[in-house]
Amino acid sequence: MKLGVCYYPEHWSRNDWGDDARSMRELGLSLVRIGEFAWSRIEPFPGQFDWEWLDQALAHLHQEGLQVIMGTPTATPPKWLVDRHPDILPVDEFGHPRRFGSRRHYCFSSQTYRAETKRIVEAIARRYGEHPAIVMWQTDNEFGHHGSDESFSEDAIAAFRKWLEQRYQTIEALNAAWGTVFWSQEYNAFEEVDPPAHCVTEPHPAHRLDWRRFCSDQMCGYNQLQVDIIRRLSPGREVTHNFIGDFYRLDHRNISRSLDVATWDSYPIGLLSESNASDEGKARWLRSGDPDFAAFNHDVFRACAPKWGVMEQQPGPVNWATYNPAPAPGMVRLWTWEAFAHGAEFVSYFRWRQLPFAQEQMHAGLLSADRKAQNAVPEIQRFCDERKRVPAIEASRPDVAILIDYSSLWHHEIQPHGNLDGPLSPARALYSACRRKGWNIDFIFPDSDMSGYKLILVPSVRIIAESTAEKLLSSGAVLLAFALSGSRTESAQTAFGSQRSVLAAAAGVQIDEFESLPPFSDVNLSYDGNTFPIGPWREQLVASGGVHARFSDGAPAWVKQDNVNYVGCLPDRALLSVILDEVADEAGITRFDVGDDFRIRRAGDVHFAFNYGSRPIDLSAVLTDMTSIEWIIGEETIPPFDISVWRKL
Ligand code: GAL
């Protein structure tokens, strides 16, 4: 795994470039990402390109043997371009243009912007396509960030209508698929359909679901436009995009089809602060981030493309969260090792030097603005020394997989039917529960190969096509599906055919009624002599047999038939844990209870153990088999915010 850094030569005096490049190399970095916001310096006036500075900056990096990831600058169209073509601006749902003065101020559907994108990407790729320092291209920067996935411009509306026409062919088919007869929402022509915005009350869910699909597809199409140019003009170089962690508005699997490498931007502390975690969790991991945040996203993006990496790694306090604490000493090294253990191609820190001006001047860098090494630097040095002792990661298929589907996440956002904590929360809760058992996990998508797993988990994936259900059911794995899984059709209608859920049907269950419940509800679940709270959703299951646990009012809660388990609620942590124990035993999977702060990841014989907490952890108290091992890093007691690595002999 290589290390890299995000660098903005245009922010600094050219007298610094040589020293910066040398210091990067000396620190052990070998990759540098540049260029992604530099349009106003590359083309200061319409059609007038200034390559000289970028040639020089690249020459300095190349001279030090650093490899470059070149970003296309399309996330920041310059002022002259916006003034010439105001139609490139994104439009909010109230019809107001979102203006120049920050970034991401363009509409993915703007025909003008697509032409301008083609022009600038061609110019850069023609200039540097064969440059010996450039090994990879990054398209744009964080598609969809700052709410930029949606635009309600004239071009977007026209494109949405065209997209609908391609999907449904006739307006009658759209009316039937959506169910527009409700509230007299029927259309006579595609030209009548507007985006689902600014309605008096809740817009139609099928309309919203197709809007989400359309917005995601527009980002994919826009990315493809850039990828095609880069592939033509820069043969042999890889192409990536840097995705946002915990972001679900873009179908990452779909967009990654055109990429060689899926990368993402990892800000564990910043995103914990902004998440819906409890105050207790926020306090506990204030300086380390949620122990599953980075791993969850590593595993999601690992599943998206043949290779993956971390394009931006938090190095210190960020500037954009409600509060911005510094990472505990050791965390930058720990996060780097977690990425390594998951098989990342590279980790690149954001950013090289802290800026003394503009929006991000309060965001840490590896160096201060006046080039003093910050806390992350000795941790990176230590990683570089330690890395020599650890063998390369061997990829192998784990026992456990979790299904993800973007349309289902969007449906969850559109019709939560209760306070369900956000679309990713069922998958995230399950993922954390699995990590607390000490397991490696794969994410799978409906089109993934599902063979070879012992246990497949379906965390309230609402839309499950028949072909996906068949793959799941014939995978040979033990299946465990939670409430709402398979409960909706592609068009957001209730799946009546198979007893309201294709997976419930496979477990021999009929779902009669459902309800969402507040945390203070009186319904519990009894299992094995214990009573558990059930979370915010419960279904009334009717089953002729196979009842494994019941709700407190006696109705079936967990039903099992052959290898299919269906649980009619969204269990909280304690209940999830006992359910997982039982299905793991059934599937023949070894399980541990590693607790809250400790996480483990296996790669062949090599075991990586992480302590995200502020107290030491004694490994032999948690893992059963600590005999016949060879220590590679650390030892049996892992200090706070530290790691141990060993090989099983
Ligand atoms: C990312 C973005 C970077 C920078 C960073 C700050 O979302 O891609 O350009 O703004 O956040 O944490």
The whole-number average pLDDT for the span 286-300 is 98
pLDDT tens by residue, 200-220: 999 999 999 999 999 999 999
From CA 569, how far away is CA 579, in angstroms rounded? 12
Q: Over pLDDT 70: what percentage of the chain?
A: 100
List, for residues 97-132, the tens digit of each pLDDT value: 999 999 999 999 999 999 999 999 999 999 999 999
Give per-residue pLDDT as tens, 549-573. Answer: 999 999 999 999 999 999 999 998 9
Residue 240, beta-bridge partner list: 138, 261
pLDDT at 419: 80
pLDDT in tens, 620-642: 988 878 889 999 999 999 999 99
Average model confidence (pLDDT) across the chain: 96
Amino acid making up residue 56: Q
How many Cβ atoms sit within 10 Å of the Cβ of residue 562?
A: 12
Distance, first Cα to last Cα, the chain: 24
From CA 382, how far away is CA 360, in angstroms rounded?
A: 28
Nearest CA-CA partner of 466 in 495, 442, 508: 495
Burial of 53 (0-12, 13-18, 19+ CB in 10 A): middle
Give CA–CA dist 403/444, Å, rounded. Answer: 5
* 524-535: average pLDDT: 92
pLDDT at 17: 98
Cα 591 versus chain centre, distance: 26
Helix (H) or strand (E) segment spanning residue 482:
strand 478-482
Residue 499 has pLDDT above 80, yes or no: no
Residue 363, ligand 1, Cβ within 6 A? yes
Q: Given CA atoms 121, 123, 129, 134 in this order, what sign does their dihedral have?
A: negative
The per-residue pLDDT for 498 is: 58
Burial environment of residue 372 by CB neighbours within 10 A (0 to 12, 13 to 18, 19 or more): exposed
| CB 312 less than 6 A from any atom of ligand 1 | yes
User: Which residue CA neighbors atom 9 of ligand 1 most closely?
Assistant: 141
Q: Ligand 1: which of 104, 350, 355 to mutate, most ligand atoms within 8 Å of CB?
A: 350
Query: Which pLDDT tens digit goes with each residue over 454-489?
Result: 999 999 999 999 999 999 999 999 999 999 999 999
Q: pLDDT tens digits for 278-291? A: 999 999 999 999 99
Q: Of 40-44, 252-256, 507-511, give the lowest mean pLDDT range.
A: 507-511
CA–centroid distance, 220 to ligand 1, in Å, is: 21
User: What is residue 31's DSSP assignment?
Assistant: E
Angle at Cα 299 formed by Cα 293 and Cα 303, nearest 5°?
150
Q: What is the dihedral of CA 89, 70, 266, 248, to 10 degrees?
A: 40
Beta-carbon contacts of 526 under 8 Å, excluding residues fewer than 6 positions away, are 532, 549, 550, 551, 552
Region 395-420: mean pLDDT is 94
Q: Find tokens 């802290």 and name the residue.
A: 354
User: Which active-site residues does the annotation give?
Assistant: 142, 312
CB atoms within 10 A of CB 364: 24
Beta strands in 553-616 (DSSP E): 556-561, 564-567, 598-603, 606-611
Q: Is the CB of 67 under 6 A from ligand 1?
A: no
Identify the bridge partners of residue 88 per DSSP, sorted by sequence position.
Answer: none
The angle at the Cα of 188, spanning 184 to 190, to the nearest 5 degrees, equals 115
Residue with tokens 């529960």: 433
CA 241 and chain centroid, separation = 12
Residue 196 is predicted with a pLDDT of: 97
CB atoms closer than 10 angstroms to residue 245:
20
Q: 184 Cβ partners below 8 Å, 6+ apart?
A: none
pTM, 2 dp = 0.98
| pLDDT bucket at 48, cuts 50 / 70 / 90 | very high
Name the pLDDT band for 501 (thresholds 50, 70, 90): confident
Q: Are 565 and 478 in contact (CB under 8 A)?
A: yes
In our burial notation (b when 16+ CB lie closer than 10 A, e otherwise), range 288-318 reads bbbbbbbbbbbbbbbbbbebbbbbbbbbbbb
pLDDT above 90 coverage of the chain, percent: 93
Q: How far is the CA of 192 from the centre of ligand 1 (A)?
A: 39
